[in-house]
């Protein structure tokens, strides 16, 4: 697994460096020009650690020189008056400095004794300047970020203590650790990726992409650097792995920042492997790590980590996914021991039936060949027009086929315009969430008026105007739909390579090597149509089911 991670990291980094520009001006020299966004993403110096790992492995000082050019570009173009780095040229947010400083810190921790003097001296000075300011963030009224930043600050201050022995860093690191530890709910899920206060329905702002790809890894790194007991953080990671799918993907279909969700995780975070590489002594974590690595490999196209099906529609790949996730691969390459992996069962594969989270507003089902997620949570962070709850079936996963349904935002909203790509060729995508649409209103935009209940292996979502019940058997899912007049949209994830056929009466749809959909009424579908959506990064076969009274639909 370590060698696979190294080869993939080298592929990514070598490809990224082909986008490094050489110009006569420090405003652009050394930067990476993103082929998709046609801009320079601000956090490109995060590549310092993986490039240094490549230098250590190959002896090629060119990797260090390119890392130094990235850092020098950041110093010239992003440095704030107090010594931090802005997130981007036109983004005044500064707390992402913790993640960039962490990459420099990891480089110093692993290679300071062997780095050439010019790099060691310059990089250490930059690291110490940045953590010196980060240490004072608790005195800033403006520093009230979402929760993942507290994990980042705790980890980078722990790194500063480890590198300097200065006890003041240790003291501040434990302060931010305590803040982070106060933000786990009764189910062990980390909240605060949005407002801290619970919504009126008791739900909180939870985002699985950020939690699994950033917050949990950083808290584990904090504990390892500080030499503290890791049991609590390992247990919380295990709690979160209930949302890691069998193929290594992360179910963030319901997250408060799901508009940044790509099937393997979140667009600007470091990656789950970064945390799993610290706990490989546990066979289950090692198994999960290999599955995530395998998914990264399968989603690598033209040398970059891509949205899973973007290559099928010719959409180019944003560089941001790759240069952040390369740090996770570097962590695995540097892991002290990587034991042989024994394939077992991940938490999501344990057939536990129905389980409720978020005060009953988030429900998962694991039964038979299916795993599913339903959300009616009222807690949110994105603009209301992008909502993604309403009792919808946010995710449906089949043990053999993989993702069958994967929810998207009601409307695609690039809330971080410099870090989320716009589609180059595909039209503006419609919402691809399995849900009722009545009088043009999407169910996923409804919150408080939706009841979400469960009984044995059935989950029911209902309002005054519609009801959808989902009953899971060993090999099939039966959906009973009820309303006076409406449409239930059932977008099925389907590659262009999948042949789709529809029976003469329009009631049976079959997908090659995939599920069969049987309906008590004719389905409205164009079997040749596919819709690509940047949330999830998947292709969909849109299916509309007219509902007048009661309709039964079976997936098997």
- 556 residues of the chain, pLDDT tens digit each: 999 999 999 999 999 999 999 999 999 999 999 999 999 999 999 999 999 999 999 999 999 999 999 999 999 999 999 999 999 999 999 999 999 999 999 999 999 999 999 999 999 999 999 999 999 999 998 898 999 999 999 999 999 999 999 999 999 999 999 999 999 999 999 999 999 999 999 999 999 999 999 999 999 999 999 999 999 999 999 999 999 999 999 999 999 999 999 999 999 999 999 999 999 999 999 999 999 999 999 999 999 999 999 999 999 999 999 999 999 999 999 998 899 999 999 999 999 999 999 999 999 999 999 999 999 999 988 888 888 899 999 999 999 999 999 999 998 888 887 888 888 887 778 999 999 999 999 999 987 789 999 998 999 999 999 999 999 999 999 999 999 999 999 999 999 999 999 999 999 999 999 999 999 999 999 999 999 999 999 999 999 999 999 999 999 9
- Give the pair of three-digit tokens for residue 385: 């027009």
* Separation between Cα atoms, residue 238 and residue 256, nearest integer Å: 21
Residue 222 has phi, psi (to 5 degrees) of -55, -50
Q: Of the candidates 279, 298, 317, which is a domain's last residue?
A: 298
**Residue 341 within any structural domain of the chain:** no
Q: Residues 283-309, buried b or exposed e (16+ Cβ, 10 A)? A: ebbbbbbbbbbebbeebbbebbbbbbb
Task: Give the span between the Cα atoms of 211 and 412, in whole angstroms.
Answer: 22
Q: Are strands 304-305 and 451-455 parallel, antiparallel or unpaired?
A: unpaired
Q: How far is CA 194 from CA 98, 249, 460, in A?
A: 19, 23, 27
Strand partners, 500: 511
Q: Is residue 7 part of a domain?
A: yes
Q: Which backbone phi and psi does 473 adopt, to 5 degrees? A: -105, -175
Specify if 315 maps to a domain. Answer: no
> Do 115 and 249 sit in the same domain of this protein?
no
For residues 139 and 117, membership in a common domain is answered with no
- Could you tell me which residues are beta bridge partners of residue 538? 533
268 falls within a domain? yes
- At residue 38, the pLDDT reads 94
> What is the model's pLDDT at position 419?
83
pLDDT of residue 222: 98
Give the predicted TM-score (pTM) of the model.
0.97
19 domain residue, yes or no: yes
The reply to whether 331 falls in a domain is no
Name the residue among 57, 147, 65, 137 with its Cα closest to residue 101: 137
Residue 376 CB-density burial (10 A; 0-12 exposed, 13-18 middle, 19+ buried) = buried
330 by Cβ neighbours in 10 Å (0-12 / 13-18 / 19+) ranks as: buried
Residues 117 and 159 grouped into a single domain: no
| One domain, residues 407 and 515 | yes
pLDDT of residue 387: 85
Question: Tokens at residue 245, please?
Answer: 């799918």
The residue among 295, 286, 279 whose CA lies nearest residue 344 is 286
- Residue ending a domain, among 81, 108, 129, is 129
User: Within this chain, do residues 288 and 198 fall inside the same structural domain, yes or no?
Assistant: yes
Residues forming beta bridges with residue 471, ordered by sequence position? 458, 478
| Structural domain includes residue 150 | yes
Phi, psi of 234 (to 5 degrees): -65, -40
Look at residues 129, 160, 180 and tell me which one is the last residue of a structural domain: 129
pLDDT at position 449? 87
Q: Which candidate, 490, 488, 483, 469, places its Cα nearest to that of 540?
A: 490
Q: Do residues 263 and 394 both lie within one domain?
A: no
| Radius of gyration for the alpha carbons in the chain, expressed in angstroms and rounded | 23
| Two structure tokens written together for 123 | 């990089």
In a shared domain, residues 101 and 178: no
Distance of CA 98 to the CA centre of its chain: 19
C-alpha–C-alpha distance, residues 153 and 101, integer Å: 10
Residues 153 and 122 in one domain: no
Instruction: Show the domain range for 274.
Output: 135-298
Residue with tokens 């209902």: 462
Q: How many domains does the chain have?
A: 3
Ramachandran area for residue 83 (φ above 0: left; ψ -120 to 50: alpha; else beta): left
Q: Is residue 330 part of a domain?
A: no
The C-alpha atoms of residue 424 and residue 33 are separated, in whole angstroms, by: 16
| Rounded CA separation 174/143 (Å) | 17
Identify which of 205, 113, 204, 128 has the alpha carbon closest to the alpha carbon of residue 168.
Answer: 128
Q: In what helix (H) or strand (E) does residue 285 lie, and over which residues does it extend?
A: helix 283-298
């Amino acid at each position: 697994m370590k060698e696979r991670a190294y080869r993939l990291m080298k592929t990514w980094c070598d490809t990224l460096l082909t986008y490094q520009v050489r110009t006569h001006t420090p405003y652009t020299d050394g930067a990476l020009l993103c082929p998709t966004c046609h801009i320079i993403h601000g956090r490109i110096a995060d590549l310092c650690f993986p490039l240094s790992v490549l230098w250590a492995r190959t002896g090629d000082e060119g990797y260090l020189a390119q890392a130094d050019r990235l850092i020098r570009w950041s110093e010239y173009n992003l440095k704030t008056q107090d010594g931090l780095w802005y997130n981007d040229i036109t983004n005044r947010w500064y707390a992402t400095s913790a993640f960039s400083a962490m990459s420099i810190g990891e480089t110093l921790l692993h290679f300071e004794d062997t780095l050439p003097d010019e790099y060691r001296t310059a990089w250490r000075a930059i690291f110490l300047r940045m953590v010196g300011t980060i240490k004072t963030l608790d005195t800033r009224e403006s520093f009230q970020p979402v929760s993942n930043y507290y994990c980042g600050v705790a980890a980078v201050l722990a790194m500063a203590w480890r590198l300097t022995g200065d006890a003041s860093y240790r003291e501040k690191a434990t302060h931010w650790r305590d803040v982070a530890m106060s933000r786990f709910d009764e189910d062990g899920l980390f909240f605060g990726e949005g407002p801290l206060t619970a919504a009126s329905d008791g739900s909180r702002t939870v985002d699985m992409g950020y939690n699994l790809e950033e917050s949990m890894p950083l808290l584990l790194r904090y504990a390892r650097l500080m030499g503290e007991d890791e049991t609590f953080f390992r247990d919380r990671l295990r709690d979160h792995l209930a949302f890691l799918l069998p193929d290594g993907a992360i179910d963030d279909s319901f997250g408060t920042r799901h508009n940044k969700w790509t099937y393997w995780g979140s667009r600007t975070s470091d990656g789950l492997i970064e945390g799993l590489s610290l706990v490989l002594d546990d066979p289950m974590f090692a198994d999960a790590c290999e599955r995530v690595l395998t998914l990264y490999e399968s989603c690598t196209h033209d040398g970059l980590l891509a949205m899973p099906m973007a290559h099928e529609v010719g959409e180019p790949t944003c560089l941001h996914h790759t240069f952040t996730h390369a740090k996770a691969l570097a962590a695995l390459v540097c892991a002290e021991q990587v034991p042989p992996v024994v394939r077992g069962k991940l938490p999501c594969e344990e057939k536990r039936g129905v389980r409720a989270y978020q005060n009953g507003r988030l429900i998962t089902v694991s039964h038979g060949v299916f795993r599913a997620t339903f959300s009616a949570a009222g807690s949110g962070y994105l603009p209301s027009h992008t909502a993604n709850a309403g009792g919808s079936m946010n995710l449906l996963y089949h043990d053999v086929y993989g993702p069958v349904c994967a929810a998207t935002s009601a409307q695609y909203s690039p809330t971080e315009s410099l870090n989320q790509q716009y589609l180059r060729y595909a039209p503006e995508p419609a919402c691809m969430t399995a849900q009722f649409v009545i009088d043009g209103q999407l169910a996923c935009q409804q919150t408080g008026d939706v009841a979400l209940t469960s009984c044995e292996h059935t989950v029911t979502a209902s309002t005054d105007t519609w009801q959808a019940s989902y009953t899971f058997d060993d090999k099939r899912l039966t959906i009973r739909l009820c309303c006076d007049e409406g449409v239930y949209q059932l977008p099925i994830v389907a590659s262009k390579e999948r042949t789709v056929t529809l029976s003469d009466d329009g009631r049976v749809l079959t997908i090659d090597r995939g599920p069969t959909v049987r309906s008590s009424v004719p389905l409205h579908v164009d079997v040749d149509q596919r819709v690509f959506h940047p949330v999830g990064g998947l292709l969909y076969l849109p299916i509309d089911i007219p509902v007048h009274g009661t309709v039964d639909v079976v997936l098997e």
